[in-house]
Amino acid sequence: MRVGPLAAAALTLSGCYLAHGLDDPPPPTRRDAGASMDASAPTLDAGAPRRDAGVRPRDAGFDAIVPGLDAGPDAGCVLPVEPFPEPDVCRPETGACIEGCGASQVCIVGCLQRDETCRVCAVRNALSCFNEETRCRMFYPDVSCCIVENCGASSVDDVLNVCTAIACQDPFQRYTDCAVARTATRCREAIARCGLPPTLLGLD
């Protein structure tokens, strides 16, 4: 499901308002009687406000979060993601549960929900592995900013939830489609280091 028409319209209108404010030229200079047009007419550049004055670069600090990207959403909504620091944190019954799920994402997520540490490990190892692929890493900021702005996320740990599936379906699908196509084998192994059978968490 995409963002509703009303929200899209509000964003469009606010964007147009800001753009209009930036593009409006300064009020015309009143000419003194008797002065020639060439002498008093301002040039196109004279007095025009610089558009970039005071504007913070969009990628400021971005490379510290997802290295290698130069442009994209504001770094403030790009959540950091890195591999889980410990291996084999999943309970044996969680691995057995996932093994019985096949490729069912709903089933896999259900198994992980009962083992919090395992879930966090699996998500972090999956996303950090996906981001090792430069082409896929380009899609990550859109996913992160979407879950921050629409789902109130403060970390990537809860990315596999209903809100992501509804509000952020399109950017998440682009991201995971890229990852499955380009990183499937090594990312299955990364997730397995949590103590799970090789899996892509049903994203394939």
Residue spans per domain, the chain: 62-192
Provide the pLDDT for residue 185: 94
Q: Which residues of the chain have pLDDT under 50?
A: 1-71
Task: Record the pTM.
Answer: 0.64
Provide the pLDDT for residue 74: 65
Residue 88 CA from chain centroid, whole number: 28
Provide the pLDDT for residue 76: 87
Do residues 123 and 156 touch, judged by C-beta distance below 8 A? Answer: yes
The CA distance from 198 to 187, in Å, is: 9
